Structure 1
């Protein structure tokens, strides 16, 4: 019998392919080159700047579009079976959109929403403050040296319905676009998503944007249920809007504190006519206060952003930079001076930059909003994924700002007024990263079995163990399970279990507290109404006062397949000689083995069994398998790379996996792993898998 091992689980499959890129391009590492072909037929050389797997399990791939000095970027995010992209070229911007099937990624030119009736800024009243002395780095500083802003995303049912399992990956993509823009603009800060969840209460998607932020700041910043006037005692009634209470969001206050989120942003499906604005955000330190005080200004760390194509069917969208624009306000940045209404941001130079009819930076409004007549309309001018900075030439070959040589001299046009959002963020905006500090601790979780293959609409079950490490020093409260992404188009539920018997013990979807140094086991059941081939889904350990652990694909993910017709569903478990989940090989050129047991919980079928190093593993040489006698563990077949079997329903089999070290293998369990998998002989669909970590002896 095989023992449950925390690390005995499957590995991720390759990222989805992206239209316009050659197969395998998203696996290219930094410095590699390829070609991107857009739907207009134009082919662009691209070179990879950054390629990494993120804590949420998504993969971000950033490439330079064009020549080595090009400011244009392709930013691609993949995860949970979906893929998103923002692509900037000299000919214009492109962004991904779901196809009619709700799955495929379609590249379309960015079609932005038309004019809005007013500004998207909330300027809080703040007491007079004295600017800090000796804290004005005009020049660029190292990437991330000013800290990281932690962002929690709450998404509406409209977002979940539109993006389905991809809703959190969508949120991560928007954060990736913002993060790369902060890097390219020399702001000195980074951003990351520390939490994502549904709004958690019924919410009217048509609620106006201004009403929404009133309720969001009341809930996420004060733990207040919201009133007819906002928590500051006033209400913006521009255009006849009334700040009615449209939902009690007070539960988000505890979430924000427990997850240590500096900023909470609501992400919702865009409905142009009903919501009026694409987004809105508070701007701390407005009026050139020159200071952000984390002790008091943290209440202004909230924003609202619309996303997706207009639900009214106009084809317009807010664009992938709206999210970045709203967070930019949270960092003390204002619009371009022409659209700032005579107001300052954090400093007199905290303006976005625009050159009429040519380009605008992230914080800029398009020229038409200033009454400027452009040949193709101001909305068609390039929206550059950069914060204003006169020291960089990312903006159509021009400087992205106006130097603040004399910040006291503020004019009223784009030729004389200092515009340097990047300097503003480097100088003081970075203090937003101190709103909630230090970051929350994490729990650890594992899924077993790590893969299931069922027919469409049928439930698949698996078990999860959540461990609250003793090092946390306290109880992890209200710990349950959450499918990473929306539940539309299927179902997901869980119950606590008795780890000794695997019998369910708790009520449906009821969380449990886990003391420090203890664990809790669960069983979950999920189904999907549509075909899903080989999606490695994250199963989140959702505790009220803990962050989920970073994704180790296969450790806390679930390789789920839903097919149209019944087929094999291979439950695979593995065990190393010392039951640690880590296969230790004596040294380079030496061989060690681990055991695998399988059972077919599905229909009969022809299956190919094999084993190989996981993508990214290093130092592993030859890997072979044999079928074994279940009583003695001895090989009954010669060692080979692959073994075909015709499995009956409920049939079992055992194997040994032999791994030879080609060189020293580091102990990196998330990377250096050996994957054992079962694939259908006819379609090569993975219907079962498990893995172990591998290392050489120190």
Structure 2
């Protein structure tokens, strides 16, 4: 794997990039997207991915575009993201890599680096990153891109189409599906004995625990996301950035991704079938799991009603979850459901974590934002790519409490155990 920049807390990466900025002046990049040819525009109406994207309730605007994917390389310093009429954003590279399978992962900060640096300097050292609401993650395989861009309080999602071209969706997060079906409350969980000797302050002194993730798509979900490999890598990358943001000493690694002819029967039934070993549904993936050494396992389905369902505080036997394709990335349901497998729970108003009293999500002051595990706290309450942690701040405010909302601690405590499931 070729790695150009190691994954870093974003404020350090910004300072580094600013230090290098004076060394050379790069030409302004060409726009990444352009108007599609007439033939592509005609074929898109019948494209199975384009139809799935346009059918999403939260996708309040969907544009068909061509993408100059050649720009997305691990050496590209800037991208001009013309996401919609009148919306043209410059993204500055923070880190990028080309994996052994040729997948390119490009992460950047949107906007003026100097303005972002001033913002960072306004707050204390607990402000580990700049602003997750001004970010871009793009994953490329050949001429196809999966990506998410956040800027100005808006979320954009980029999906490759089967017929060529890409769909750029403006997502209204207030219209996203509910997090879980009612069956969530009845799911079994694995009790544990808390380690009184766990030292949270020393959690980051060891090498990160690597948790390998198997992703299985139903055929309907594969059709909806366009490219299953780039989408899985996007979900993994977003999750890893959340760990870097939140002082969580964990790294996800994609163990394998597959597409199956299984037809979804609803979240609760699908979860039971995916985890079961003797029910004649999806059973071969237990052998696959052992072969590829996947610690946790995620089934991706299409369901407009909910975002996901996962077992809480899993053992190796039930480290399984189900995630809706429309919620998988950008809304962070992929990380949310695996977070349940670790033992992380919702905000205190929407669940009582009887296993880890401190293991809840968090609503920010004035319900201005929420962490990954927290339920919605209003129509203007975006889910940030952070785990609750009282030792980290966002805009100067702590992102949790020691007594109730410290999911980062839960993940750090469980990291070695979950990483050892296979």
> TM-score, normalised on structure 2?
0.72
> Is residue 224 from structure 1 mapped to residue 278 from structure 2 by the alignment?
yes
Report if the CA contact (8 A) 1:194-1:259 is conserved.
Answer: yes
Change (3 A) 1:303 1:126: closer
Which of 171, 180, 193 is equivalent to 2:254?
A: 193
- Name which one, 1 or 2, has greater alpha-carbon Rg: 1
> Is residue 359 from structure 1 mapped to residue 369 from structure 2 by the alignment?
yes
Change (3 A) 1:138 1:110: farther
2:322 partner SS = strand
CA distance in 2, matches of 1:125, 1:334: 12
CA distance in 2, matches of 1:429, 1:79: 30
Report if the CA contact (8 A) 1:29-1:50 is conserved.
Answer: no
Q: Which residue of 2 aligns with 1:403?
A: 401
1:392 partner SS = strand
CA distance in 2, matches of 1:261, 1:152: 6
Report if the CA contact (8 A) 1:391-1:399 is conserved.
Answer: no
Which of 248, 254, 261 is equivalent to 2:281?
A: 248
CA distance in 1, matches of 2:386, 2:168: 21
Unaligned runs of 5+ in 2: 1-30, 35-66, 121-129
Change (3 A) 1:19 1:328: farther
Which of 296, 306, 324 is equivalent to 2:324?
A: 306
Q: Which residue of 1 aligns with 2:408?
A: 422
1:160 partner SS = helix
Q: How far does the alpha carbon of each residue in 1:606-631 deviate from its partner, in whole angstroms, 9 at most, with x for none? A: xxxxxxxxxxxxxxxxxxxxxxxxxx
Unaligned runs of 5+ in 1: 1-16, 226-246, 286-296, 310-316, 368-377, 408-417, 437-698
Q: Which residue of 1 aligns with 2:296?
A: 263
Q: Pairwise mapping of residues 149-168 of structure 1 onto structure 2 (< 5 A)? A: 149-163=211-225, 166-168=227-229
CA distance in 1, matches of 2:100, 2:408: 26
Change (3 A) 1:365 1:18: farther
> Is residue 213 from structure 1 mapped to residue 242 from structure 2 by the alignment?
no
Q: How far does the alpha carbon of each residue in 1:525-578 deviate from its partner, in whole angstroms, 9 at most, with x for none? A: xxxxxxxxxxxxxxxxxxxxxxxxxxxxxxxxxxxxxxxxxxxxxxxxxxxxxx
CA distance in 1, matches of 2:334, 2:267: 14
Q: How much is the aligned-residue C-alpha RMSD, in angstroms?
A: 3.0
Answer 1 or 2: which has greater strand percent: 1
Q: Pairwise mapping of residues 7-22 of structure 1 onto structure 2 (< 5 A)? A: 18-19=32-33
Q: Which residue of 1 aligns with 2:109?
A: 64
The total of aligned residue pairs comes to: 340
Report if the CA contact (8 A) 1:306-1:318 is conserved.
Answer: no
> TM-score, normalised on structure 1?
0.45
Report if the CA contact (8 A) 2:250-2:415 is conserved.
Answer: no
Change (3 A) 1:33 1:125: closer
Answer 1 or 2: which has greater helix percent: 2
Report if the CA contact (8 A) 1:121-1:283 is conserved.
Answer: no
Report if the CA contact (8 A) 1:86-1:177 is conserved.
Answer: no
CA distance in 2, matches of 1:422, 1:251: 33
After TM superposition, give the deviation of residue 330 of structure 1 in Å: 1.3
Change (3 A) 1:75 1:319: closer
2:72 partner SS = helix
> Is residue 131 from structure 1 mapped to residue 185 from structure 2 by the alignment?
no
Report if the CA contact (8 A) 1:121-1:281 is conserved.
Answer: no
CA distance in 2, matches of 1:215, 1:401: 36
> Which has the higher relative contact order, 1 or 2, with Cα contacts under 8 A spaced 6 or more apart?
2
